Each structure stands twice: as structure tokens, then as C-alpha cells.
Amino acid sequence: MAFPQTRMRRLRATHQLRGLVRETQLSASDFVYPLFVAEGLTGRAPIWTMPGIDRLSVEEAIIEAGAAAGLGIPAVILFGIPTHKDAEGSGAYAEDGIVQVATRAIKQAHPDLIVVTDLCLCEYTDHGHCGVLRERVGHAGTEHTVDNDATLELLARTAVSQALAGADIVAPSDMMDGRVGVIRAALDEAELSEVPIMAYSSKFASAFYGPFRAAADSAPAFGDRRSYQMDPANGTEAVRESLLDAQEGADMLMVKPALPYLDIIRRVREATELPLVAYNTGGEYSMLKAAAAAGYMDEQQSVLEALTGIKRAGADIIITYHAKDAAQWLT
């Protein structure tokens, strides 16, 4: 019926009514909290590009993970910052690599907390790319390109190493073709078939990664990652990437970044029934933090609105640096 019989404002009149009919419910149980764990660090080191986020020693990572768990956040995702880097990123799959050490320590201290391990080589290679390089002769002379198939073996080794260290979920973020299938096969062969794969399926070549790359010391030494990360202009390709990862054995799919790609989250949500993760990136975090610090916006309201929008678009799980603050506000 039309106005005046129909009055949409009736159910907006009070806080209680709005809560009763709210379609999208945001809670701390939706969040995964990222931790940057640095080898050789004592204590904490502030990350200048991400106010409120620090690089952590293993001991501090245990404390930070416990604080997250105490707020009802069910999971953390670990990013390692090694003291040594080489051409093949050997620190990523070393038994005593920083992520492996931190995983064991956190799982021992907080056995019920889910530990997700980011699975990539970019933080461990001396050239900063997500795989091993090979030379080729191009029109501009000798060029270096990431060797997709040679990288797959190292990603599989990393997945097995992280899972043996106690990772509950491995999360390949490299964007190499075929890596989900190779990782699934390697985990199964190592009798780790119960370990799920959270695939960075639609990972776009984004300017919103800038603060993260400063935090993780993972910027490429030359060129960029547009030859393997996705073109921001492509939506149908993102759905195709997600479906391919599902076919290869991914247990969860991801869209990264989140806020500039809400349409992609919705399209992937409609294309698959797998749990869908959205990565609310460092650039998205720092953008809101800077605006709040300048007095342009209310931080609590803007952050909760942004996270609600991500979930409303179709995300089941949100990786976000706002996790601790948001969990407190929601409580």
C-alpha cells in the first residue's frame, strides 16, 4: 500500500525497533585480526603507515593474539618479516621460519584460537615478488618475470611447513595459476588433509596495499605485480578466478581489497556457496584512521559502517586491522 498507509519510518523510530528488523548483523565473530611478526625483534615497533598497528616479536604476538581472543575474535592471520631474504624466499618454508615459530607459540598459548597463515613468498624474496624469477629476452633486452610453475613447488612446501607448525588454515595470496590444486595435493600427501585452504582468489593489483607493503617490507624491488594480480577493471574475471579455485579444492574464497570491490564480493557471493572472505586492507584502514585523526569523520561510526557494508555485500568473514576496536565497540 502507498503512503499514508505505508510509512517506512515506523520501524526506524527507536533503537530497539531498528535492532529488531536489522538485516545485517556484525559481530566480533566475523573478524580475523592480522599480526605482523618480525624475526629478531624485541618488543614492538610501530608501523608508520598504519597507526595503532605494530610489528611484533613472537612474545608480543602471543599477547596480541590473546587480547584478540579475549574480545571474541576467533582468528588471527600471520604475516612474517624475516631477517634474511633470498632469491627463492627460503624463509617462507623453513621449519624455523618466523611464521612457523610464531604459529607454534600462539597455538601453545591459545589452543582454541584459529591461526591462519598467509602463504606467499613476497616477504621472503630479496626481489619482493611473489615467486621465483626467470630471465627472458624481450624487446627491451633481458627481462625478469615470475615463473609460475617453478613457484608452485615452493608454495606447496610452504603450505606443508606451516600446517606442520600448527596452522589451522593456510591462505595462499600469491595469485599463481594452479596453486590451490598443487597445495591441496601436497597437504593431502603429507597426511594434512584436514587443513583448509583460504584462497586469495580475487586479489587485485591495488594501490590500497601501500601501507601493508611498508609494514611487511614486501614492496617489489622492480616493476609491479600486475602480471599476476588482477586488473581492477575486471569483474567477470574475478568470478572466474573464484570458481577455478573452488574447482581446485579451496575451502574458502577471498576478495581483496574490500571497500572498492563490494560489487565483486556480491558477484562472487552469488556464484558460489563457499564461505567468502573479504580483506579490508591496510589502505582502507589507514584512510579511515587518517580521516578520523583529522576530525573529518567519527572513527567508530565510520568503521562500523564500512565493516557492515562489507558484510552486507556478502562477506562471511572480514580480515581487518580494525578488528580489536570494532569488537570493543560492538560489545
Catalytic machinery residues: 203, 256
- SS3 for 118-136 is EECCCCCECCCCCCCEEEE
CA separation for the pair 56, 62 (Å, rounded): 9
User: 280 to each of 42, 123, 260, 265, 284, how far by Cα in Å?
Assistant: 28, 19, 10, 12, 6
Cβ-based neighbour number of residue 301 at 10 Å: 11
Phi, psi at residue 163, to the nearest 5°?
Answer: -65, -40
Cell 565493516: give the residue.
307
Angle among Cα 106, 110, 115 to the nearest 5 degrees reads 55
Whether omega for the bond prior to residue 260 falls within 30 degrees of 0, making it cis, is no
The angle at the Cα of 86, spanning 80 to 91, to the nearest 5 degrees, equals 35
Residues forming a β-bridge with 203: 256
Q: Which three cell numbers stand for residue 228?
A: 599476476
Tell me the C-alpha to C-alpha distance, in Å, between residue 32 and each of 65, 75, 111, 117, 327.
11, 5, 16, 11, 11
Contact 105, 149 (CB under 8 A): no
Q: What's the Cα-to-Cα distance from 155 to each of 94, 107, 161, 181, rounded to whole Å?
A: 12, 22, 10, 11
Q: How far apart are CA 302 and CA 259, in angstroms?
A: 12
The CA–CA distances, whole Å, from 49 to 11, 153, 208, 257 equal: 42, 33, 12, 17
Cell numbers representing residue 215 in the block? 609494514
